Amino acid sequence: MLNLCLKNSAQVILNCVSTLNMATTHLGGCVVALYVL
């Protein structure tokens, strides 16, 4: 039971991290586009 719980939290954390990564990458792209323009 505990193992499953730990597995689920790891998955949630990974999802959060990847979402954050995508958001920062998107933001970085916007900033670069603004500089280029």
How far, in Å, are 6, 17, 30, 33 from residue 36 at the CA level?
45, 28, 10, 5
Q: Is 8 helix (H, G, I), strand (E, B) or coil?
A: helix
Separation CA 30–CA 16 (nearest Å): 21
List pLDDT tens digits, range 1-37.
678 877 888 899 899 899 988 888 888 888 888 888 7
Q: What is the pLDDT of residue 1?
A: 62
User: Rounded to two decimals, what is the model's pTM?
Assistant: 0.59
Separation CA 18–CA 30 (nearest Å): 18
